[in-house]
Structure 1
Amino acid sequence: MSTTPPKRRPHAVYSVGDEPDVRFSLANERTALAWVRTALALIAGGITLTTVASLTSSPLIVHILSIVACVAGGVLAVVALLSWQRNERALRLNQPLPPPLPLPWLVAGIAIAAIGLIVFAVIAIIGAA
């Protein structure tokens, strides 16, 4: 009775190249999971913002930020999976790792959100004075 290992999925990743050192595959997986945690944090922040929106004088702006955070979290989760696949294929094919997809977008999005919130806070302070 011979036991053959089951086919691993996704086939697009595991059907190419050679099995890399397990430490590199596990590091790639940990990185993907870190991106997924960040995506969950964005979604949780968006949900929190919908709760806080009723306490502000501009609930529409807070709801828009909430939608943006939730959508960004969903997109980031998908991009994390795609990045994991790209990296795992590169490891299996003994190629250089591709540049990280989500990092520049996440940093730019956070910077834009921070600038927008600063402008919003300054306008709210000036309006209250």
Structure 2
Amino acid sequence: MSSQPPATAPEKDEEPDYRFTLANERTFLAWMRTALATLAAGLVFDQLSDYFGGSKLIEGLSVLMMCMTVSMSFLGYKHWSRVQKAMRRSAPLPRSPMLLPLTSMLIAAAISCILYVVLK
């Protein structure tokens, strides 16, 4: 019998310094707080839509904000998980996939607000 290790041995997980784990968790919680605020903004825009006679622009803005909430929640958890795994394996930390899409959605929301104020 041969006692050779398998060709692809699983990478060993080690417990990272607790300070890094807590910092990663705080970052995740910051994304969740931002997602919650974005959800609240989406609900406010929905209520404003009724106040301003059912404006489709405001309704679209409300939906955009709620889509941002879903994106931030999902991608925030995914990023937290990837960073935690990288820290346990002493691997390079992954870049966040959230920054460009969420920045783009926020810019679109801001432009929609500007258009609504200018064109009302």
TM-score by length of 1: 0.77
2:56: which partner in 1? 60
Distance 1:123 1:58 in 2: 15
2:21 equivalent to 1:47 = no
Distance 2:75 2:35 in 1: 10
Contact 2:61 2:112 in 1 (8 A): no
Give the letter aligned to residue 118 of structure 1.
I
- Pick from 52, 60, 70: which aligns with 1:74? 70
Stretches of 4+ moved more than 6 A in 1? none
1:102: which partner in 2? 98
Gapped runs of 5+ residues in structure 1?
1-14, 125-129
Distance 2:12 2:63 in 1: 39
**Aligned CA-pair RMSD:** 1.7
1:83: which partner in 2? 79
TM-score by length of 2: 0.82
Contact 1:16 1:89 in 2 (8 A): no
Q: Matched residue pairs, number?
A: 110
Distance 1:64 1:112 in 2: 11
Give the letter aligned to residue 106 of structure 2.
I
Give the letter aligned to residue 26 of structure 2.
R
Contact 2:65 2:109 in 1 (8 A): no
Cα deviation per residue 1:10-58 (whole Å; 9 max; x = unaligned)? xxxxx95111000000100100010011111111111111111122255
* Identical-pair percentage: 34
Contact 1:28 1:88 in 2 (8 A): yes
Gapped runs of 5+ residues in structure 2?
1-10
Contact 1:29 1:84 in 2 (8 A): yes
